[in-house]
Structure 1
Amino acid sequence: MLIKRKLALLAMVSVSVTALAAVERIEIKERAPFAPGVTYGEAGAYEKIRGIAYFALDPKAAANAAIVDLKRAPRDARGRVLFSSEFILLRPAGGLPSSLIYDVNNRGGIAMLGQINGRSPANNDPATAADAGDGFLMRHGFSMLFSAWTWDVAPPAPGARPLVFAPPLAQGVKGRVQNEFTVNAPVDIATYAGMRGLTYEPATPNDPHAQLTMRARPGDKRRLVPRSSWHFVAPEQAGGPGRVRLDDGFKPDTIYELTYVAKDPYVTGAGLAGIRDLLAYFRDKPFEGAPVPKNVLMFGISQSGRVIGRMLHDGLNVDESGQLVFSGAYLHVPGAGGSAGFNSRFAQPTRHPSMLEEHDYPADAFPFTTAPSRDPVSGQTASYLDHARDKQGRLPKLIIANTSTEFWNRGASLIATTPDGMQDVAPADNVRIYGFMGAQHYVGRSRTRAPFTACVSTSDHYLPMRALVLALDDWTSKGKQPPASAYPQLADRTLTTVADYRAIFPAGLGLTPPEQNLREPRLDFGRRFAKQGIADKVPPDSGDEYETRVPVPDADGNDKGGVRLVEVQAPLGTHTGWNLRAPETGFAWATSRFDGSFVPFARTEAERAVSGDPRPSLEARYPTRDDFVAAVRAAAQRQIAAGLLLPEDMDRTLTGNAGLYDRIMQHDPADKGCAYLYAAP
């Protein structure tokens, strides 16, 4: 009872602190045991602290010069821009020194626990043992920090608690905003915000000068839809994204774009500065009975990985005192994203380009590489770490990992080639790059083909992720070298053009490779955009495309080079990084944004002969189940030796692959469903 009373009292107090960097004070809103009664190895029991950090930024400080529109935000009597951010801290309850890892949330949601621990916390509010998944990060003694950094998060489901940022406003500023959207089925009313997001709404309600256009492909000329034939519609729920109604209805196979004048843009870059300063605070300040961390790391998945890239690009990984705020970072599936659109006027962080969508959004631009490279079009030579050094000249250590899907849909080859795709560019000494071959953006679990043409990829790249998280901690805290970079390259002929891929890819699998991968254009938003983040041309002018490459397939259609996952070393079928859209959803020429494909091998040579499959059957590869399990074990042991799989994950590897083998052997190939690929929930 006494402990509970103390925790309740702590949850009610506001803790004032000496200002370090830009954190003025921390207010604790909740402090409670995490997963009561559960201990995690040597780390013991965990606790959760939920609070609010209050920030004050000096717009005149050199460290804040890169934050677009900060000088236009309201200031207090001391000339500072004020804002706050909710945060959650999970840490060992015993006050032991630990490595702190900051997870950049994805659209308000905690991401790291889902992919590393295997379970996303219910309602985005970690509290129970179930929310910890298998407890991996806890068992290895990490403290985990999460905070709000972005505003464009759609209203959540009842009970959910996303981390949503309320940035300062650049009051009185107006500008044009573009909103590109598509539909998968005919509808009369459509939302025009980005994926699960919000957008800037018109400065004038029902703006009579707003424009709606349509086109078939990103590079096509826009066709204006008469203003009299469409109308703004109220959001489906309060605070939700705006909607629009078209008299004849919206149809698949068409890219729609709505543009209008908006006002009072958010100072979105303040969210990145908030991450910076929160990390600087926890780096230096013993907090509520625990010492300062022995190491500070960052972790980001997809959009969140690109946030880290943008912080590095803008030097927002260095605090106001000139020190690095994290010693290392893991950017997972960021594609080419080192310059994503998180720090510009009227930025919409939710939006990002793939083969079909949003090529005109300011998401990816030169420089892409961590070592200097030259853009033959502009003549510039640069790297995206040019502003990331601290006052002593140090850089954080980085792990950047993409899957096969990012080579098709997110320009991943650009992080290690020149912009013309003609030469390799080795990563900087402080960087390791990995390509998880045969994997898709996230581990697939879809039990249907729709809305695609093939079943999604079944490979599990979350296991090497776990090994790399520990490797990053050891690299930054102990100087232990991580696994060598492993990614497709031009020099070893594991990276090629789409035309070459299509010529090599085996026929007879029921899969037709895409016509193209994502090739984003160089965008011209006007003279102020590069240095001030202000777009004068909306939509922008488009120049030459960046040349992107894809991995070379082997005789089975599995990608060469990079990290050959266990599922590719001991394959049960073909795993690709692409999956074509089903024709009924429109854009049949384009690929899924995030998904790959999987086609199992024929079970027997007789079945293979009947179907015309050019690939040897399972029977030919693995005469018995034991032979297959032995092949998986050998592949897993090679991965362990390479530092890309942990011994503790051997059993999960064997069980998962053997289970899929059993389900394939029991499945009637005449059944085109995908549910058999996954164990019963």
Structure 2
Amino acid sequence: MKRTLTALAAMAVVSAAQGAVERIEVVERVPFAPGVTFGEYGAYEKIRGIAYYALDPRAAANASIVDLKRAPRDKQGRVLFSSEFVLLRPIGAQPTTLLYDVNNRGNIAILGQVNGRSPAYNDPTTAADAGDGFLMRHGFSLLFSAWTWDVAPSAPSAAGTPAPRPLVFAPPVAKGVKGKVQNEFTVNAPADIATYAGMRGLTYEPATPNDPHAQLTARARPDDKRRPIARSTWRFVEPELKGGPGRVQLEGGFQPDTIYELTYVAKDPYVTGAGLAGIRDLLSWFRDHPFENAPAPRNVLMFGISQSGRVIGRMLHDGLNVDEGGKLAFSGAYLQVPGAGGSAGFNSRFAQPTRHPSMMEEHDYPADAFPFTSAPARDPATGVTASTLDKARDKQGNLPKLIVANTSTEFWNRGASLIATTPDGERDVAPADNVRIYGFMGAQHYVGRSSKRAPFTACVSTSDHYLPMRALIVALDDWTVNGKQPPASAYPQLADGTLTTVADYRAIFPKGFGLTPPAQNLREPRLDVGRNFAVPPKHGDDYETRVPTPDADGNDKGGVRLVELQAPLGTHTGWNLRAPDTGFAWATSRFDGSFVPFARTEAERVAAGDPRPSLEERYANRDAYVAAVRAAAERQVVAGLLLAEDVERTLKENVGLYDSILARDSADQSCNYLYTQ
């Protein structure tokens, strides 16, 4: 089924000035999760389509898009492109909140974390793909579209199974532009051949195939001097998959514990900022138009996880949340685990959106830069005072309402403290009135499910921050539609001693139970790429970052007290050290925290020399632990950080882990017991 929708004739006349979506083409319309109804919202449908855009490089709303004026234009001076989209919505013609999920490296993310099930083949179709139906039962229409180009192809599907359907953007190209591109990579085990693109991504390939002037270097740490590797000892090899990232082969092989970097001249950079403008304009179109026999939505929200949350941060920083007509494209946004916020990636020449710095790698790739805070703050190094929202107001002066949530891991590995402190880490900066900040303490970047320690030294953190996420999504909708205030911000701060230096953290952290804190966290790089996006960029003094203060159990203070920390079964940290055999033993995992359970009995605790009180001392019996979990969950419900419908799930998860710890063979050092329930 294909049909094309155009705006009203009157709107079409002014489309170049006030709207960039020229037309919408519907290519598929089918039931979603056939046979399933989602509470009062009933059955859902899936609509797959293509949006066609025309951006005016002369419009003030597009002035921040890097290299847009260098892209090819039509006879009217507009830059043309398109993107695929997928819409899930109730079949009944009723107004709903349109929730746009910024896909992560081409993949739909929100269904996996919020509904509990990632859609098979990235193509939401079946009842299983709906997970527990949370977002549908709460009446959200879900919109996904292509916004980035650097999505590596997947391996061929097994016979008889559908091919994955990532959402991949084909941006405009700045033809004739050349520049240096650097590609940093590591290996976890010795290898003769390595891929040099970023995580699950693509990169710009050399302008000259098998470039004889390309340079390969090696170093042990990010700030070490690069050691050139003779060009005669390595060569380019074909991608493993057609259309996949390039690879290099080195005589003697690549080794762990080494950062390799491949640099060469590339050409014809993509106008990556057009992908962000495409999101803006697709939302603006849906905001104002009835679509396929349904009214325009009552509300428009954005949601992004990790990379996708940073996309929203960059849109706000560049004013790309305000359309060509001067209106907000969305009334609210939820940025989940964006670290320092994402004010520097996704809109620069030769941008590689998949790359971002962590403690160990990619310190030359812009992902975050001053300003970091939603309220104005002064950068002592430059004397400039600014905020992330300086360009985000509509023509009436309105700002979208924002929720920003990080876990403990982002404080260690992604500079999360900077969104609420001065750049020197010396003073707190309270969020703007339209912003709420939350820190999910004891949680890691995603909810862990690994039953192995490798490639790290500890079992991963078991805490579940997806449940408060569900409550906050509903709260954001209530805030933007009804004006109901969401829970007060809750995050570690300097003033109350819940945010501190790494040195203090190490001094306070309990000793003698198998975890030794890292010597450093990520100190966010201060980069200067200049007007011509120099490679490598100039480095200034790093921004100062802080970490949550631990308590006597090693659990982080401040922030949102997850049930797992209110009724603890062990120590949950935001960091997990790399295993020595994978290299970089001084560094932390990019995304994972740690969990070490308390001893079960006092005798077991004394024998092990564990300073933390045992489970036996904390909870008289299983019933006492169940009561503690239920009381903690009910406190979270009152605080607006847990929905009543999720209390039983919280009990099941935590009591299941309690039972697994008690049943565990104390000699078993594996992590298998964590996920038996």
Query: Does TM-score exceed 0.5, indicating one fold?
Result: yes
2:293 counterpart of 1:289 = yes
Name the residue aligned to 1:234: 238
Residue 563 of structure 1 aligns to a residue in which SS?
Answer: coil
2:339 counterpart of 1:345 = no
Residue 564 of structure 2 aligns to a residue in which SS?
Answer: helix
Alpha-carbon distance between aligned partners in 1 of 2:525 and 2:133, rounded to the nearest angstrom: 43
Q: Does the 8 Å CA contact 1:73/1:81 hold for their aligned counterparts?
A: yes
Residue 589 of structure 1 aligns to a residue in which SS?
Answer: coil
The offset of 1:338, in angstroms, is: 3.2
2:653 counterpart of 1:656 = yes
The offset of 1:12, in angstroms, is: 2.7
The offset of 1:668, in angstroms, is: 1.1
2:621 counterpart of 1:624 = yes
Give matches, 1:550-565, under 5 Å: 550-565=547-562
Name the residue aligned to 2:274: 270
2:510 counterpart of 1:495 = no
For 2:472, give the aligned amino acid: L
1:202-251 deviation digits (Å, cap 9, x = unpaired): 00001111111111000111111111111111101110000001111100
The offset of 1:78, in angstroms, is: 1.2
Gaps of 5+ in 1: 1-10, 529-533
For 2:137, give the aligned amino acid: R
Alpha-carbon distance between aligned partners in 2 of 1:636 and 1:562, rounded to the nearest angstrom: 16
Q: Does the 8 Å CA contact 2:452/2:670 hold for their aligned counterparts?
A: yes
Name the residue aligned to 1:65: 63
For 1:206, give the aligned amino acid: N
Alpha-carbon distance between aligned partners in 1 of 2:670 and 2:27, rounded to the nearest angstrom: 48
Name the residue aligned to 1:505: 509
Alpha-carbon distance between aligned partners in 1 of 2:252 and 2:542, rounded to the nearest angstrom: 34
RMSD: 0.8
For 1:566, give the aligned amino acid: V
Alpha-carbon distance between aligned partners in 2 of 1:337 and 1:509, rounded to the nearest angstrom: 34
Give matches, 1:389-538, under 5 Å: 389-526=393-530, 528=531, 534-535=532-533, 537-538=534-535
The offset of 1:374, in angstroms, is: 0.4
Q: 145, 150, 153: which one pairs with 2:151?
A: 153
Name the residue aligned to 2:105: 107
Alpha-carbon distance between aligned partners in 1 of 2:652 and 2:342, rounded to the nearest angstrom: 37
Name the residue aligned to 1:573: 570
Name the residue aligned to 1:4: none
1:369-419 deviation digits (Å, cap 9, x = unpaired): 000000000111000100000000000000000000000000000000000
Residue 648 of structure 1 aligns to a residue in which SS?
Answer: helix
For 2:307, give the aligned amino acid: Q
For 1:122, give the aligned amino acid: A
For 1:220, give the aligned amino acid: D
Alpha-carbon distance between aligned partners in 2 of 1:104 and 1:613, rounded to the nearest angstrom: 44
Give matches, 1:364-403, under 5 Å: 364-403=368-407
Alpha-carbon distance between aligned partners in 2 of 1:37 and 1:521, rounded to the nearest angstrom: 52
Name the residue aligned to 1:531: none
Alpha-carbon distance between aligned partners in 1 of 2:203 and 2:386, rounded to the nearest angstrom: 32
Alpha-carbon distance between aligned partners in 2 of 1:42 and 1:524, rounded to the nearest angstrom: 53
The offset of 1:521, in angstroms, is: 2.5
Q: Does the 8 Å CA contact 1:214/1:225 hold for their aligned counterparts?
A: yes
Name the residue aligned to 2:124: 126
Alpha-carbon distance between aligned partners in 2 of 1:649 and 1:448, rounded to the nearest angstrom: 28
Give the TM-score, by structure 2 length.
0.97
Alpha-carbon distance between aligned partners in 1 of 2:259 and 2:144, rounded to the nearest angstrom: 35
Alpha-carbon distance between aligned partners in 2 of 1:423 and 1:509, rounded to the nearest angstrom: 33
Alpha-carbon distance between aligned partners in 1 of 2:452 and 2:525, rounded to the nearest angstrom: 34
Q: Does the 8 Å CA contact 2:574/2:594 hold for their aligned counterparts?
A: yes
1:521-554 deviation digits (Å, cap 9, x = unpaired): 211222x1xxxxx31x211121101100000000
1:150-174 deviation digits (Å, cap 9, x = unpaired): 0000002431000000001000000
Alpha-carbon distance between aligned partners in 2 of 1:473 and 1:156, rounded to the nearest angstrom: 35
Give matches, 1:590-601, under 5 Å: 590-601=587-598
Name the residue aligned to 2:604: 607
Q: Does the 8 Å CA contact 1:338/1:384 hold for their aligned counterparts?
A: no
Q: Does the 8 Å CA contact 2:414/2:524 hold for their aligned counterparts?
A: no
For 2:189, give the aligned amino acid: A
Q: Does the 8 Å CA contact 2:421/2:427 hold for their aligned counterparts?
A: yes
Alpha-carbon distance between aligned partners in 2 of 1:569 and 1:198, rounded to the nearest angstrom: 43
Alpha-carbon distance between aligned partners in 1 of 2:415 and 2:93, rounded to the nearest angstrom: 43
Alpha-carbon distance between aligned partners in 1 of 2:513 and 2:72, rounded to the nearest angstrom: 61
Residue 88 of structure 1 aligns to a residue in which SS?
Answer: strand
For 1:223, give the aligned amino acid: R
Alpha-carbon distance between aligned partners in 1 of 2:89 and 2:240, rounded to the nearest angstrom: 39
Alpha-carbon distance between aligned partners in 2 of 1:288 and 1:525, rounded to the nearest angstrom: 46
Residue 221 of structure 2 aligns to a residue in which SS?
Answer: coil
1:424-451 deviation digits (Å, cap 9, x = unpaired): 0000000000000000000000000000
Q: Does the 8 Å CA contact 1:307/1:340 hold for their aligned counterparts?
A: no
2:569 counterpart of 1:586 = no
Residue 541 of structure 2 aligns to a residue in which SS?
Answer: strand
Give the TM-score, by structure 1 length.
0.97
Alpha-carbon distance between aligned partners in 2 of 1:541 and 1:485, rounded to the nearest angstrom: 36
Q: Does the 8 Å CA contact 2:322/2:394 hold for their aligned counterparts?
A: yes
1:285-309 deviation digits (Å, cap 9, x = unpaired): 0001000100000000000000000
Name the residue aligned to 2:160: none
The offset of 1:509, in angstroms, is: 1.4
For 1:132, give the aligned amino acid: A
Alpha-carbon distance between aligned partners in 2 of 1:66 and 1:37, rounded to the nearest angstrom: 46
2:40 counterpart of 1:50 = no
For 2:289, give the aligned amino acid: K
Q: 620, 623, 647: which one pairs with 2:644?
A: 647
Identity of matched residues, %: 81
Residue 645 of structure 2 aligns to a residue in which SS?
Answer: helix
Alpha-carbon distance between aligned partners in 2 of 1:274 and 1:301, rounded to the nearest angstrom: 19
Alpha-carbon distance between aligned partners in 2 of 1:580 and 1:345, rounded to the nearest angstrom: 34
Name the residue aligned to 1:212: 216
Q: Does the 8 Å CA contact 2:526/2:540 hold for their aligned counterparts?
A: yes
Alpha-carbon distance between aligned partners in 2 of 1:333 and 1:355, rounded to the nearest angstrom: 16
How many equivalent pairs are there?
663
Residue 297 of structure 1 aligns to a residue in which SS?
Answer: strand
Gaps of 5+ in 2: 158-162
Alpha-carbon distance between aligned partners in 1 of 2:344 and 2:402, rounded to the nearest angstrom: 17
Alpha-carbon distance between aligned partners in 2 of 1:544 and 1:637, rounded to the nearest angstrom: 46
Alpha-carbon distance between aligned partners in 2 of 1:277 and 1:14, rounded to the nearest angstrom: 17
Name the residue aligned to 1:251: 255
Alpha-carbon distance between aligned partners in 1 of 2:247 and 2:89, rounded to the nearest angstrom: 42
Q: 311, 314, 317: which one pairs with 1:310?
A: 314
Q: Does the 8 Å CA contact 1:552/1:560 hold for their aligned counterparts?
A: yes
The offset of 1:638, in angstroms, is: 0.6
Alpha-carbon distance between aligned partners in 2 of 1:474 and 1:412, rounded to the nearest angstrom: 26
